[in-house]
Each structure stands twice: as C-alpha cells, then as structure tokens.
C-alpha cells in the first residue's frame, strides 16, 4: 500500500508538469511586464523604416567567426553573438527585454513551461524558426548544441549541462531540462539565453577550429564580406524567419551592417569624424567637452546625445591578480587601494566630470554604500563579517578624499602605515617587503586612456618607494595574457545590472580561479563569496534578493580586489544625424539594435 501511495504521488507530480501552462515569457522575480498578446518591446519602434546601412567601429582585431570556443573567446568578429550591436548571426532560445531587470520572451522558443519550484524548464520551439539554409530549427538542434558545447565549447556554455539531470525531447518539437540539486532559481533563465546551433551543418570534430569558416545561423543577417582584422560586413536576410515575432519587431532595421577594426582609439575617432564610422560611443569627459568642434559636429551633421539609464554604476578599477604574490596579501591590497588620488585625476584629467565609485551597485537599492548592514545581511555574511572592518558593516566606509595635490601627505602616511601592517617598510627610499625586495609590479593597459589614468597612481606610489611600471600592449597580446591570467594588475570595467546572478560566479566564483578564459580576473577563491552568489541566484523574494546583493557588495568592497576609480551616470553617444532611434529609453539605456537609418524612409 505504501508503494502504491508513493507511485500515485509521483504520477500526480508528473501530471502537474505535463499540463503546465505554456508561458510567453519568464522573469527572475515576479511576472513579465508585457502580456501574452504584446506586439513589440516598448523601446522598439514598430514603424522604423527598413533599409539603409550603418558602420560601427571597434579597436582590436578578429580571427574567428565562432564565439563559443576558447580559442576565439575574445577574438570573434563583432556582431556574430553580440549584446551591443545585436546577435546578428546566431540566436538564443529567448530574447531579453532591456526594459526590465531580467525578463526573457520567446524567440527560437515560442513558449516555455516550468513549475513554481523551477525544477525543470521546457522550451517549445517555434514551428516557424528556420536556419539560413531553409531547414527548420528543431528540438534535436537544441540537444545537439548543449552536447556540442559541453564537449567542445568554452565556459560558461561548456558547464551548463553539469546542472542538468536529464535533457530530453518532448512531443514533436520541445526540449525539457530537468535540473539536479546544483541548479539555482536563475538557471532556467540562463538556459534561455543559450545559443542554438544547427546539427545538420556542424562537424563536432572540427568545431573548435572553425576559424573564419561560417557556421549556418538562424539570425537576421548573413555575412556579406570579410577582411580578417579589418572589417566584417553583414547583409539583412529578407527571408529571416523571425522578423514579425513580437520580440524582434522594430529590431534589425539596416539592410547592411559593417564593423570596421582599428588599431587605436584615436584612429577610430578620426574615422568617425570623416564619416567612415556612423556611431561613436564616448567615455572620455574631456573629449566629450572639447573634441567635438570638427566641421561635421559644428554644422549639425554629427549629433551629440546624452542618455540617462536607470542602472547601477558598475565598477571601473585596477584589478589585483591575487594568484600572484604580493597580491594574495589583503592588507597590502587595502594599502594600495588608498593611494589613488581621485581628486587630482578628476580635476586635472577630466574637468571634474566624474564621481568616485564606492560600490559595485552604486546609485541603486542593491548598493551597500552608506547603508548599515541589516541583521539579515549580517546573518548571511556569517563568519566573514568578523573579518571585515566595522565601517563596512555600519555603512560609513568611503574612499579616501585627498587634497587634490597629487601628494597628500596625510593619505600617504595612511598608506605607509597600512603597508607596515602588511609587512612592508621604507628602507633607503624603497618600500621593502618581508623578503627584503622592493615592492614592484606592472599595470598592463590596453590603450592610451588607461595609461593616462594609471600614471597618477604610478606617481603617488613612487613617492613612497614602490616601483610601478605601466605597459600598454597590443590587443592580441592583451587578450592572450588576460585569458591566461598573465599579469600583475589590469584595468577592468564590471558592468552591473539590476538583476545580478550567474555572471557573478563567472567573475568571482572559486571555480573560475584556475579555469582559463573566465572573467575571474582577480583570481578570487573564497567560500564566503561562493555562498553569497548562491544565495543571490536562489532568492525568491525581492527583499531577500536585495539583502543578498548588498551583503555581496559589502564583502567584495572589503576584500579590496579592485581599486575603485570613477563613473558617470550618463551614457554619451555621438552619431551622424541620419542615424535615428526611438523616443523611449529603456531601463538599461540606449539599444543600438533598434536604431535605424533615416535615409531609408
């Protein structure tokens, strides 16, 4: 009788799964903002004209069309799989709305099914979905893709099946993923972001070496022309299967998209001024204020626009590689973090345009800056709270404020005193460590702008006997060295969303410390960090989620993995006047994939 009851419960649970209502969208917390009968995203213009062309410009090089393998992780041509310019060639199961913190709507998967506990998710493939060669996108393609990327792809795609108990074809054209006990509540949405590749057009044995040989895609564009390292040109597919589905209405408006590559930022800007590039994303306040006096800008042919997104500040900073000595010493990292003279740099380099960054999620409810830790946060932090300076817990911590002289004696004394706690003392005008050697390290930079704001840091540290070298390397060397963690200190920008989740494990999780090609640039391997990431991705309610992120922010700041620099709450974009965009600005700011060429009207 007992076995019969258990069997009946199991059958009941199976029936509950099988009759789950198909959903048009899924959200990390709460329900999708758009109803099932929505016609387009709010920030897309359904009446945008189709036609014309746009040319983007980037600094760097490319040698591959495959973004899913380690070899070309950072050297794949822009546009193939690209949240900035749009996923022009490959597509995901679902499309993310940039007007909501983390919500996915149907794309290759027309609908999904899941249970309240998120123990499984089923993707129902759109019967209309087709590859560029006319063959249908199938459930078999989805299964093939996950197995292919598990065996031959790069992280994080290669690790996703590790959280899946079973992956099976259901019915005519659906795939159900049932999760094991390592999956979290965000994981179904991460699967929805995954690409789908064609089983009929890929040889797994050669997948990792595909290089510049195109793979068949399902996206809105085909490759028209390639000049390796110089440019790639895409042309819009008139037979694109998804042009009328709601998540794509108002997107993909250009007949042709070209991406030009340049060796230096100055060359890219000159190309923009000449009209060889149509859009320039500005990040330098000095240039924004003073460099747009060229003829096309003064005549109105080039337009400057400022956008104000509703997103956290993110973090730009010097990142210490804790895999190497002496950066495994937390007290030393703390001392060096005190030494950056933001006030001098902001005044002399940037016309006081910047705000000092104090948190990874500054300017949002997720930030710990100025907010005392609640009892719930302290409980989440556990023993880690005992190792944190009290000011991080009581909300009074902030970056030191100098007198702007570039040599504030009070701050320098504080740096020297903290270095002494780390085991370093000044001997004969040199900062000497326990090994008797001068403290010395290299900052590896990518371009002149990074070198420029590194020099004040170098100068300040030189005043107390620390030997800092700045080395700017070419793009290919930079990509290789960062992929292999071959550096002392680098400059990195960490974007922050209103729905942080699995990407935090990619940036800070212990599993990424020794795995090549992750974004764990600091080499963090801390059980407390891992535990908080797990709490974030498993949070059910909004207040529980906010508490976990604040605690995580507090912990990262207190560990001094990054020397925080600065941010601007605005987005600056200059573009030629014939490039237009919708009036509605989404939560995350401007979205290039919904802009258009007015010359096509």
pLDDT at 536: 96
**Could you tell me which residues are beta bridge partners of residue 175?**
123, 169
pLDDT given for residue 11 in this prediction: 42
Mapping DSSP onto H, E and C, the string for 532-566 reads HHHHHHHCCCHHHHHHHHHHHHHHHHHHCCEEECE
Please report whether residue 11 resides in a domain: no
Q: What angle do CA 478, 479, 481 make, to 5 degrees?
A: 65
Q: Which residue has the tokens 């010359």?
A: 599
**Final residue before a domain boundary, out of 175, 209, 243:** 209
pLDDT of residue 492 exceeding 90: yes
Three state DSSP letters for 448-491: HHHHHHHHHHHHHHHCCCCEEEEEECCHHHHHHHHHCCCCCEEE
Q: What average pLDDT does this structure show over 296-317?
A: 96
* pLDDT > 70? residue 362: yes
Domain end, chosen from 209, 242, 271, is at 209
pLDDT, tens digit, 9 for 90 and up, residues 63-119:
999 999 988 877 899 999 998 999 999 999 999 999 999 999 999 999 999 999 999
Q: What is the CATH number of the domain that holds 271?
A: 3.40.190.10
> According to the model, what pLDDT value does residue 142 have?
98
Same domain, 115 and 174: yes
Query: Is residue 138's pLDDT more than 90?
Result: yes
Please report, for the domain that includes residue 467, its CATH number.
Answer: 3.10.105.10
Mean per-residue pLDDT for 26-46? 97
Find the mean pLDDT for residues 191-201: 98
Q: Does the pLDDT of residue 33 top 90, yes or no?
A: yes
Q: Clarify whether residues 277 and 325 are in a common domain.
A: no
Q: Are residues 550 and 473 in the same domain?
A: yes
Angle at 184 between CA 178 and CA 186, to 5 degrees: 100
How high is the pLDDT of residue 7?
43
Q: Please give the tally of structural domains in the chain.
A: 3
What's the rounded mean pLDDT across residues 48-65? Answer: 96
How does residue 14 score in pLDDT terms, banded at 50, 70 and 90?
A: very low
Distance CA 111, CA 94 (A): 9
Kindly state whether residues 351 and 464 are assigned to the same domain. Answer: yes
Say if residue 4's pLDDT is above 50. no
Q: Does residue 553 share a domain with residue 428?
A: yes
Residue 58 resides in a domain? no
38 contacts 106 by C-beta, under 8 angstroms: no
- 529 Cβ contact partners less than 8 Å away, ≥ 6 residues apart: 508, 509, 510, 552, 555, 556, 559
Q: Is the pLDDT confidence value at 20 over 80?
A: no
pTM: 0.80
Which structure tokens are listed for 424?
């370093």
Q: Which of 304, 369, 316, 270 is nearest to 571 (CA)?
A: 304
Residues 397 and 500 reside in one and the same domain: yes
547 and 584 share a domain? no
Average pLDDT estimate for 185-213 = 95
| Whether pLDDT at 236 is above 90 | yes
Please tell me the distance from the alpha carbon of residue 211 to that of residue 199, in angstroms, as a whole number.
18
Q: At 6, is the pLDDT very low, low, confident or very high (cuts 50, 70, 90)?
A: very low
Report residue 175's pLDDT band, with 50, 70 and 90 as the boundaries.
very high
Closest CA to 444 of 414, 479, 413: 479
What are the Cα distances from residue 556, in Å, to 330, 391, 449?
A: 12, 14, 26
Confidence of residue 284 (pLDDT cuts 50, 70, 90): confident
Beta strand 579-580 pairing with 596-597: antiparallel
Mean of the pLDDT values across residues 168-174? 96
pLDDT digits (tens, 9 = 90+) for 327-353: 999 999 999 999 999 999 999 988 888
Q: Give pLDDT, residue 520.
A: 97
Q: What residues make up the domain containing 225?
A: 221-310+570-600
Say yes or no: 182 and 202 in one domain.
yes
Question: Are 298 and 421 contained in the same domain?
Answer: no
From the centroid of its chain, how far is CA 213?
Answer: 27
pLDDT digits (tens, 9 = 90+) for 576-596: 999 999 999 999 999 999 999
Instruction: At 39, list the tokens.
Output: 């016609």
Q: Say if residue 18's pLDDT is above 70.
A: no
Residue 375, H or E segment: helix 375-381
In sequence order, what E strands does 400-460 have?
Answer: 425-427, 430-432, 440-445
Nearest-angstrom CA–CA distance, 396 and 385: 15
**Does the pLDDT of residue 19 top 80, yes or no?**
no
Mean of the pLDDT values across residues 281-300?
Answer: 93
- Based on the fold, state whether residues 406 and 542 are members of the same structural domain: yes
Provide the pLDDT for residue 9: 41
Task: Tell me how far apart the alpha carbons of residues 525 and 182 are, in angstroms, rounded to a whole number.
Answer: 19
Element (H, E) at 514: none
CB atoms within 10 A of CB 264: 13
Is it true that the peptide bond before 154 is cis, omega within 30 degrees of 0? no
Asked whether residue 128 carries a pLDDT value surpassing 90, the answer given is: yes
pLDDT for 13? 43
pLDDT tens readout for residues 403-458? 999 889 999 999 999 999 999 999 999 999 999 999 999 999 998 889 999 999 99
Q: Tell me, yes or no, whether 82 lies in a domain.
A: yes
Q: Is residue 299 part of a domain?
A: yes
Distance CA 45, CA 456 (A): 45
pLDDT of residue 10: 43
For residues 326 and 255, state if they share a domain: no
Q: Is 466 found in the same domain as 364? A: yes
Q: Quick count: other Cβ atoms within 10 Å of Cβ 52?
A: 18
What average pLDDT does this structure show over 305-312?
A: 94
Three-class HEC string of 259-297: EEEECCHHHHHHHHHCCCCCEEEECCHHHHHHCCCCHHH
Q: Measuring CA to CA, how many Å separate 334 from each of 287, 338, 395, 548? A: 32, 7, 18, 24
In a domain, 62, yes or no: no
Q: Mention every residue, 6+ apart, whose C-beta is less than 8 A from residue 430.
A: 438, 439, 465, 467
Q: What mean pLDDT is reported for the chain?
A: 94
- Alpha carbons 169 and 123: distance in angstroms, whole number: 10
52 occurs within a structural domain: no
């Amino acid at each position: 009788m007992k076995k019969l009851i258990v069997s009946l419960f199991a059958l009941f649970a199976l029936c509950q799964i099988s009759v789950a209502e198909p959903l048009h969208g899924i959200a990390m917390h709460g329900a999708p903002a758009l109803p099932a009968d929505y016609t387009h995203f709010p920030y897309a213009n359904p009446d945008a004209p189709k036609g014309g062309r746009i040319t983007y410009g980037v600094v760097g090089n490319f040698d591959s069309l495959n973004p899913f393998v380690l070899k070309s992780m950072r050297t794949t041509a822009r546009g193939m799989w690209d949240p900035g310019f749009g996923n022009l060639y490959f597509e995901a199961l679902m499309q993310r709305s940039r007007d909501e913190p983390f919500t996915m709507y149907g794309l290759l998967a027309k609908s999904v099914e899941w249970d309240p506990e998120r123990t499984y998710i089923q993707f129902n493939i759109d019967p209309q979905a087709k590859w560029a060669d006319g063959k249908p996108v199938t459930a078999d393609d989805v299964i093939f893709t996950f197995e292919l990327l598990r065996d031959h792809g790069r992280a994080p795609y290669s690790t996703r099946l590790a959280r899946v108990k079973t992956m099976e074809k259901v019915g005519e054209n659906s795939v159900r993923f049932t999760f094991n006990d390592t999956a979290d509540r965000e994981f179904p949405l991460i699967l929805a972001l995954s690409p789908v590749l064609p089983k009929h057009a890929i040889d797994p044995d050669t997948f990792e070496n595909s290089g510049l040989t195109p793979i068949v895609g399902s996206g809105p564009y085909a490759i028209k022309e390639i000049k390796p390292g110089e440019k790639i040109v895409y042309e819009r597919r008139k037979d694109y299967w998804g042009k009328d589905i709601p998540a794509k209405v108002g997107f993909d408006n250009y007949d042709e998209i070209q991406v030009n590559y340049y060796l230096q930022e100055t060359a890219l800007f000159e190309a923009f001024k000449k009209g060889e590039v149509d859009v320039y994303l500005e990040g330098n306040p000095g240039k924004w204020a003073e460099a747009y006096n060229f003829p096309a800008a003064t005549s109105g042919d080039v337009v400057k626009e400022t956008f104000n997104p509703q997103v956290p500040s993110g973090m730009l900073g010097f990142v210490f590689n804790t895999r190497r000595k002496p950066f495994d010493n937390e007290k030393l990292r703390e001392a060096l973090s005190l030494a950056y003279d933001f006030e001098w740099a902001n005044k002399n380099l940037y016309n006081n345009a910047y705000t000092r960054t104090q948190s990874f999620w500054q300017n949002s409810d997720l930030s710990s800056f100025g907010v005392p830790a609640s009892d719930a946060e302290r409980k989440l932090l556990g023993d880690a709270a005992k190792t944190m300076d009290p000011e991080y817990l009581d909300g009074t911590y902030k970056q030191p404020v100098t007198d702007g002289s570039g040599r504030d004696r009070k701050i320098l004394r504080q740096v020297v005193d903290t270095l002494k706690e780390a085991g370093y003392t000044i001997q004969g005008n040199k900062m000497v460590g326990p090994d008797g050697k001068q403290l010395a390290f290299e900052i590896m930079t990518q371009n002149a702008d990074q070198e420029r704001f590194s020099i004040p840091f170098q100068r300040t540290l030189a005043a107390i006997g620390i030997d800092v070298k700045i080395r700017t390397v070419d793009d290919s060397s930079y990509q290789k060295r960062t992929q292999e963690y071959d550096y002392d200190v680098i400059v990195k920008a960490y974007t922050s969303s209103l729905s942080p989740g699995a990407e935090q494990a990619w940036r800070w999780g212990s599993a990424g410390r020794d795995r090549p090609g992750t974004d764990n640039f600091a080499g963090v391997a801390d059980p407390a960090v891992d535990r908080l990431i797990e709490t974030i991705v498993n949070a059910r309610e909004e207040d529980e989620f906010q508490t976990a992120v604040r605690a995580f922010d507090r912990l990262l700041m207190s560990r001094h993995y990054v020397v925080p620099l600065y941010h601007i709450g605005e987005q600056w974009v200059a573009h030629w006047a014939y490039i237009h965009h919708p009036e509605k600005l989404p939560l995350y700011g401007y979205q290039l994939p919904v802009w258009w060429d007015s010359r096509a009207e």
